[in-house]
Amino acid sequence: MEWIADPMDAGGWLRERLDDDWSMHHFVPHGFEAYARIFHPAETYGEADAEGTTSSWAEAAAAFDTTLHTQASWQHLVRTPPDGDWRSRIAPDGREFVCPDEGRMPVTQLAAIARHLAAHTTTPDAGCVGVWEGWGNIVGGFVDSSPGLPADLGGDPIHAEVVWQSLHNRFNNPFHKPTWRPGILSDEISKGARLELPDRNHVVFGSAPAAFADPDWILDAPWRDREAEGHGFEPSAQHPSILWPADRAWVMVSEIDFDSTIVAGSNELIRAICADPSVEALPIREGSSLHWDTDDINR
Protein backbone atom coordinates (compact mmCIF):
# COMPACT_ATOMS: atom_id res chain seq x y z
CA MET A 1 0.00 0.00 0.00
CA GLU A 2 1.38 3.37 -1.05
CA TRP A 3 0.46 6.72 0.45
CA ILE A 4 -1.40 9.05 -1.93
CA ALA A 5 -0.13 12.59 -1.44
CA ASP A 6 -3.06 14.14 -3.36
CA PRO A 7 -6.06 12.38 -1.83
CA MET A 8 -8.65 14.82 -3.21
CA ASP A 9 -7.56 13.93 -6.72
CA ALA A 10 -8.10 10.26 -5.93
CA GLY A 11 -11.24 10.55 -3.83
CA GLY A 12 -12.77 13.92 -4.56
CA TRP A 13 -15.51 12.20 -6.58
CA LEU A 14 -16.90 10.85 -3.31
CA ARG A 15 -17.45 14.37 -1.94
CA GLU A 16 -19.50 15.26 -5.00
CA ARG A 17 -21.97 12.48 -4.18
CA LEU A 18 -22.44 13.21 -0.47
CA ASP A 19 -25.12 15.26 1.27
CA ASP A 20 -24.75 17.81 4.03
CA ASP A 21 -27.80 16.48 5.90
CA TRP A 22 -27.60 13.56 8.29
CA SER A 23 -29.05 10.81 6.15
CA MET A 24 -26.99 7.78 5.25
CA HIS A 25 -25.57 9.88 2.41
CA HIS A 26 -23.71 12.20 4.73
CA PHE A 27 -21.09 9.43 4.54
CA VAL A 28 -22.22 7.04 1.77
CA PRO A 29 -22.25 8.35 -1.81
CA HIS A 30 -25.36 8.57 -3.99
CA GLY A 31 -25.49 7.28 -7.53
CA PHE A 32 -25.23 3.48 -7.24
CA GLU A 33 -27.77 0.87 -8.32
CA ALA A 34 -28.12 -0.70 -4.91
CA TYR A 35 -26.91 -0.63 -1.32
CA ALA A 36 -26.35 -3.25 1.38
CA ARG A 37 -26.26 -2.78 5.13
CA ILE A 38 -23.79 -5.21 6.69
CA PHE A 39 -24.42 -5.66 10.40
CA HIS A 40 -21.33 -5.78 12.61
CA PRO A 41 -21.47 -8.78 14.97
CA ALA A 42 -22.20 -8.44 18.66
CA GLU A 43 -20.87 -10.54 21.54
CA THR A 44 -22.87 -12.79 23.84
CA TYR A 45 -21.98 -14.01 27.31
CA GLY A 46 -23.69 -16.86 29.12
CA GLU A 47 -23.77 -17.21 32.89
CA ALA A 48 -20.73 -19.53 32.86
CA ASP A 49 -18.90 -17.93 29.93
CA ALA A 50 -15.50 -16.44 30.70
CA GLU A 51 -15.17 -15.27 27.11
CA GLY A 52 -17.85 -13.99 24.80
CA THR A 53 -18.99 -15.61 21.59
CA THR A 54 -19.78 -13.79 18.37
CA SER A 55 -23.50 -13.39 17.80
CA SER A 56 -25.62 -11.97 15.03
CA TRP A 57 -28.31 -9.34 15.10
CA ALA A 58 -30.78 -12.10 14.21
CA GLU A 59 -29.81 -13.98 17.36
CA ALA A 60 -30.33 -10.85 19.43
CA ALA A 61 -33.72 -10.27 17.84
CA ALA A 62 -34.76 -13.84 18.65
CA ALA A 63 -33.55 -13.50 22.25
CA PHE A 64 -35.43 -10.23 22.84
CA ASP A 65 -38.48 -11.14 20.69
CA THR A 66 -37.91 -8.27 18.28
CA THR A 67 -37.57 -8.06 14.50
CA LEU A 68 -34.42 -7.74 12.43
CA HIS A 69 -35.04 -5.49 9.43
CA THR A 70 -33.10 -3.13 7.21
CA GLN A 71 -33.37 -0.11 9.49
CA ALA A 72 -33.25 -1.92 12.82
CA SER A 73 -31.33 -0.12 15.55
CA TRP A 74 -29.44 -2.06 18.17
CA GLN A 75 -30.97 0.05 20.94
CA HIS A 76 -34.51 -0.96 19.95
CA LEU A 77 -33.53 -4.50 18.95
CA VAL A 78 -32.45 -5.29 22.53
CA ARG A 79 -35.38 -3.36 24.06
CA THR A 80 -33.35 -0.68 25.80
CA PRO A 81 -35.52 1.46 28.12
CA PRO A 82 -35.22 5.25 27.77
CA ASP A 83 -32.80 5.49 30.69
CA GLY A 84 -31.01 2.17 30.04
CA ASP A 85 -27.55 1.31 28.79
CA TRP A 86 -27.86 -0.16 25.29
CA ARG A 87 -24.22 -1.24 25.22
CA SER A 88 -24.91 -4.25 27.42
CA ARG A 89 -28.33 -5.86 27.82
CA ILE A 90 -29.49 -9.03 29.55
CA ALA A 91 -31.95 -11.09 27.50
CA PRO A 92 -34.91 -12.93 29.09
CA ASP A 93 -32.96 -16.19 28.76
CA GLY A 94 -30.16 -14.78 30.93
CA ARG A 95 -27.58 -14.15 28.22
CA GLU A 96 -25.76 -10.83 28.09
CA PHE A 97 -25.58 -9.16 24.67
CA VAL A 98 -22.81 -6.60 24.15
CA CYS A 99 -23.32 -4.09 21.34
CA PRO A 100 -21.47 -4.32 18.00
CA ASP A 101 -18.35 -2.28 17.34
CA GLU A 102 -18.84 1.02 15.57
CA GLY A 103 -16.67 1.75 12.55
CA ARG A 104 -15.12 -1.69 12.26
CA MET A 105 -15.80 -5.38 11.97
CA PRO A 106 -13.74 -8.57 12.37
CA VAL A 107 -11.09 -9.20 9.73
CA THR A 108 -12.82 -12.47 8.83
CA GLN A 109 -16.05 -10.66 8.00
CA LEU A 110 -14.16 -8.05 6.00
CA ALA A 111 -12.42 -10.86 4.11
CA ALA A 112 -15.75 -12.44 3.17
CA ILE A 113 -17.07 -9.12 1.89
CA ALA A 114 -13.85 -8.33 0.03
CA ARG A 115 -14.12 -11.54 -1.96
CA HIS A 116 -17.44 -10.32 -3.35
CA LEU A 117 -16.07 -6.84 -3.93
CA ALA A 118 -13.09 -8.16 -5.89
CA ALA A 119 -15.40 -10.23 -8.09
CA HIS A 120 -17.48 -7.20 -9.06
CA THR A 121 -14.86 -4.79 -10.36
CA THR A 122 -12.68 -4.71 -13.43
CA THR A 123 -9.80 -3.46 -11.26
CA PRO A 124 -9.50 -5.86 -8.30
CA ASP A 125 -5.78 -5.11 -8.09
CA ALA A 126 -6.07 -1.31 -8.10
CA GLY A 127 -8.00 1.00 -5.84
CA CYS A 128 -7.86 3.18 -2.75
CA VAL A 129 -8.36 2.81 0.95
CA GLY A 130 -9.11 5.68 3.31
CA VAL A 131 -8.42 5.57 7.04
CA TRP A 132 -10.03 8.13 9.33
CA GLU A 133 -7.33 10.37 10.77
CA GLY A 134 -8.85 10.33 14.25
CA TRP A 135 -8.19 6.70 15.15
CA GLY A 136 -5.84 6.66 18.11
CA ASN A 137 -2.27 7.68 17.37
CA ILE A 138 -2.39 6.86 13.65
CA VAL A 139 -1.17 10.32 12.70
CA GLY A 140 1.16 12.61 14.62
CA GLY A 141 0.18 16.04 15.85
CA PHE A 142 1.08 18.98 18.01
CA VAL A 143 0.37 18.63 21.72
CA ASP A 144 0.32 21.24 24.47
CA SER A 145 3.54 21.03 26.46
CA SER A 146 2.65 23.75 28.96
CA PRO A 147 2.94 22.75 32.62
CA GLY A 148 -0.09 21.89 34.65
CA LEU A 149 -1.44 23.84 37.60
CA PRO A 150 0.81 23.44 40.67
CA ALA A 151 -0.74 21.32 43.37
CA ASP A 152 -0.12 23.88 46.15
CA LEU A 153 -0.72 27.55 45.46
CA GLY A 154 -0.50 28.64 49.11
CA GLY A 155 -4.21 28.99 49.73
CA ASP A 156 -4.43 32.56 48.37
CA PRO A 157 -7.28 32.64 45.81
CA ILE A 158 -5.99 35.82 44.12
CA HIS A 159 -2.52 34.33 43.71
CA ALA A 160 -4.05 31.10 42.43
CA GLU A 161 -6.02 32.98 39.79
CA VAL A 162 -2.94 34.90 38.61
CA VAL A 163 -0.91 31.70 38.28
CA TRP A 164 -3.76 29.93 36.47
CA GLN A 165 -4.12 32.75 33.95
CA SER A 166 -0.36 32.86 33.32
CA LEU A 167 -0.27 29.14 32.63
CA HIS A 168 -3.05 29.45 30.05
CA ASN A 169 -1.97 32.68 28.37
CA ARG A 170 -0.70 31.69 24.93
CA PHE A 171 0.82 35.12 24.22
CA ASN A 172 2.73 35.80 27.42
CA ASN A 173 3.59 32.34 28.65
CA PRO A 174 7.10 31.51 27.40
CA PHE A 175 6.71 27.89 28.53
CA HIS A 176 3.70 27.25 26.32
CA LYS A 177 5.35 25.52 23.37
CA PRO A 178 3.27 22.98 21.46
CA THR A 179 5.47 20.07 20.53
CA TRP A 180 5.15 17.52 17.77
CA ARG A 181 4.20 14.00 18.87
CA PRO A 182 4.87 11.36 16.18
CA GLY A 183 2.16 8.89 15.26
CA ILE A 184 2.22 5.44 13.73
CA LEU A 185 2.45 6.94 10.24
CA SER A 186 5.47 8.97 9.18
CA ASP A 187 5.66 12.70 9.85
CA GLU A 188 5.43 13.32 6.11
CA ILE A 189 2.12 11.50 5.91
CA SER A 190 0.86 12.96 9.18
CA LYS A 191 1.49 16.50 7.93
CA GLY A 192 0.21 15.75 4.43
CA ALA A 193 -3.13 16.41 2.76
CA ARG A 194 -6.33 14.59 3.70
CA LEU A 195 -9.36 13.38 1.81
CA GLU A 196 -11.76 15.96 3.23
CA LEU A 197 -15.33 14.65 3.44
CA PRO A 198 -18.20 16.01 5.57
CA ASP A 199 -17.08 15.89 9.21
CA ARG A 200 -14.42 13.25 8.47
CA ASN A 201 -10.88 13.55 7.09
CA HIS A 202 -9.01 10.50 5.86
CA VAL A 203 -5.47 9.47 5.02
CA VAL A 204 -5.56 7.69 1.66
CA PHE A 205 -3.44 4.86 0.30
CA GLY A 206 -3.36 3.06 -3.02
CA SER A 207 -4.37 -0.53 -2.42
CA ALA A 208 -5.64 -3.59 -4.24
CA PRO A 209 -9.22 -4.21 -3.07
CA ALA A 210 -8.61 -7.94 -3.47
CA ALA A 211 -5.91 -7.75 -0.77
CA PHE A 212 -8.55 -7.43 1.95
CA ALA A 213 -9.87 -10.89 1.13
CA ASP A 214 -6.86 -12.15 3.07
CA PRO A 215 -7.03 -11.42 6.82
CA ASP A 216 -3.25 -10.98 6.76
CA TRP A 217 -3.66 -7.62 4.98
CA ILE A 218 -2.88 -6.21 8.41
CA LEU A 219 0.77 -7.17 7.97
CA ASP A 220 1.09 -4.87 4.95
CA ALA A 221 -0.88 -1.92 6.32
CA PRO A 222 1.27 1.24 6.72
CA TRP A 223 -0.80 2.11 9.80
CA ARG A 224 -0.02 -1.22 11.49
CA ASP A 225 0.73 -0.61 15.17
CA ARG A 226 4.26 -1.96 15.42
CA GLU A 227 4.92 -0.20 18.72
CA ALA A 228 2.13 -2.21 20.37
CA GLU A 229 3.57 -5.38 18.85
CA GLY A 230 6.87 -4.52 20.52
CA HIS A 231 5.03 -4.78 23.83
CA GLY A 232 3.76 -8.24 23.08
CA PHE A 233 0.43 -7.50 21.35
CA GLU A 234 -0.70 -9.35 18.24
CA PRO A 235 -0.30 -7.53 14.89
CA SER A 236 -3.18 -5.11 14.44
CA ALA A 237 -4.30 -2.34 12.12
CA GLN A 238 -7.39 -0.19 12.19
CA HIS A 239 -10.30 -1.21 9.98
CA PRO A 240 -10.44 0.69 6.64
CA SER A 241 -12.99 3.49 6.77
CA ILE A 242 -13.52 3.69 3.00
CA LEU A 243 -12.53 1.31 0.21
CA TRP A 244 -13.12 1.67 -3.53
CA PRO A 245 -11.66 0.22 -6.75
CA ALA A 246 -10.05 2.25 -9.51
CA ASP A 247 -13.05 1.74 -11.79
CA ARG A 248 -15.38 3.08 -9.04
CA ALA A 249 -17.75 0.15 -9.51
CA TRP A 250 -18.58 0.20 -5.80
CA VAL A 251 -17.59 1.76 -2.52
CA MET A 252 -17.51 0.33 1.00
CA VAL A 253 -18.01 2.74 3.90
CA SER A 254 -17.45 1.92 7.57
CA GLU A 255 -18.43 5.20 9.21
CA ILE A 256 -16.92 5.53 12.70
CA ASP A 257 -20.32 6.08 14.34
CA PHE A 258 -22.18 3.30 12.47
CA ASP A 259 -22.57 -0.20 13.87
CA SER A 260 -22.93 -1.37 10.28
CA THR A 261 -20.91 -1.11 7.09
CA ILE A 262 -22.56 0.07 3.89
CA VAL A 263 -21.61 -1.22 0.46
CA ALA A 264 -22.87 0.67 -2.59
CA GLY A 265 -22.62 -0.99 -5.97
CA SER A 266 -24.41 -2.99 -8.63
CA ASN A 267 -27.56 -5.03 -8.05
CA GLU A 268 -25.53 -8.19 -8.62
CA LEU A 269 -22.96 -7.26 -5.97
CA ILE A 270 -25.59 -6.42 -3.38
CA ARG A 271 -27.47 -9.65 -4.04
CA ALA A 272 -24.26 -11.66 -3.67
CA ILE A 273 -23.38 -10.03 -0.35
CA CYS A 274 -26.87 -10.41 1.10
CA ALA A 275 -27.03 -14.07 0.01
CA ASP A 276 -23.72 -14.99 1.67
CA PRO A 277 -24.47 -16.96 4.88
CA SER A 278 -21.16 -15.83 6.40
CA VAL A 279 -22.21 -12.17 6.18
CA GLU A 280 -25.27 -10.76 7.93
CA ALA A 281 -26.57 -8.16 5.49
CA LEU A 282 -29.79 -6.75 4.09
CA PRO A 283 -30.44 -4.46 1.14
CA ILE A 284 -31.13 -0.86 2.13
CA ARG A 285 -32.79 1.84 0.07
CA GLU A 286 -30.95 4.87 -1.19
CA GLY A 287 -31.79 7.84 1.02
CA SER A 288 -32.25 5.78 4.19
CA SER A 289 -31.18 6.96 7.62
CA LEU A 290 -29.20 4.92 10.14
CA HIS A 291 -30.05 7.16 13.07
CA TRP A 292 -30.71 5.04 16.14
CA ASP A 293 -34.31 6.26 16.46
CA THR A 294 -35.51 5.44 12.92
CA ASP A 295 -36.49 1.88 13.90
CA ASP A 296 -40.30 2.13 13.84
CA ILE A 297 -40.88 -1.63 13.98
CA ASN A 298 -39.22 -2.38 17.32
CA ARG A 299 -40.47 0.58 19.33
Read off the pLDDT of residues 108-123 as tens digits, 9 standing for 90 and up: 999 999 999 999 999 9
**63 and 30 together in one domain:** no
Q: pLDDT in tens for each of the 299 residues of the chain?
A: 999 999 999 999 999 999 988 789 999 999 999 999 999 999 999 876 667 899 999 999 999 999 999 999 999 999 999 888 989 999 999 999 999 999 999 999 999 999 999 999 999 999 999 999 998 889 988 776 555 444 444 555 554 554 445 445 555 555 567 888 888 999 999 999 999 999 999 999 999 999 999 999 999 999 998 888 888 888 888 889 999 999 999 999 999 999 999 999 999 999 999 999 999 999 999 999 888 888 889 98
Q: How far apart are CA 145 and CA 163, in angstroms?
A: 17
Q: How far apart are CA 195 and CA 146, in angstroms?
A: 31
Task: Confirm whether 175 is domain-assigned.
Answer: no
Helix H or strand E segment including 119: helix 107-119
**235 and 276 together in one domain:** yes
**240 and 217 together in one domain:** yes
Task: Confirm whether 30 is domain-assigned.
Answer: yes
**8 and 87 together in one domain:** no
Task: Confirm whether 158 is domain-assigned.
Answer: no
DSSP structural state of residue 239: P
Task: Confirm whether 148 is domain-assigned.
Answer: no
Task: Confirm whether 156 is domain-assigned.
Answer: no
Task: Confirm whether 114 is domain-assigned.
Answer: yes
Residue pair 105/258 in contact by the 8 Å Cβ criterion? no
**8 and 93 together in one domain:** no
**191 and 71 together in one domain:** no
Non-local CB neighbours of 23 within 8 Å, separated by 6+ positions: 287, 288, 289
Residue pair 19/11 in contact by the 8 Å Cβ criterion? no
Task: Confirm whether 167 is domain-assigned.
Answer: no
Read off the pLDDT of residues 41-66 as tens digits, 9 standing for 90 and up: 999 998 766 678 999 999 999 999 99
**233 and 291 together in one domain:** yes
**6 and 96 together in one domain:** no
The number of domains in the chain is 2
Boundaries of domain holding 48? 42-100
**90 and 200 together in one domain:** no
Residue pair 260/40 in contact by the 8 Å Cβ criterion? yes
Task: Confirm whether 160 is domain-assigned.
Answer: no
**82 and 206 together in one domain:** no
**262 and 223 together in one domain:** yes
Helix (H, G, I), strand (E, B) or coil at 20: coil
Residue 152 CB: number of other CB atoms within 10 A?
A: 6
**239 and 287 together in one domain:** yes
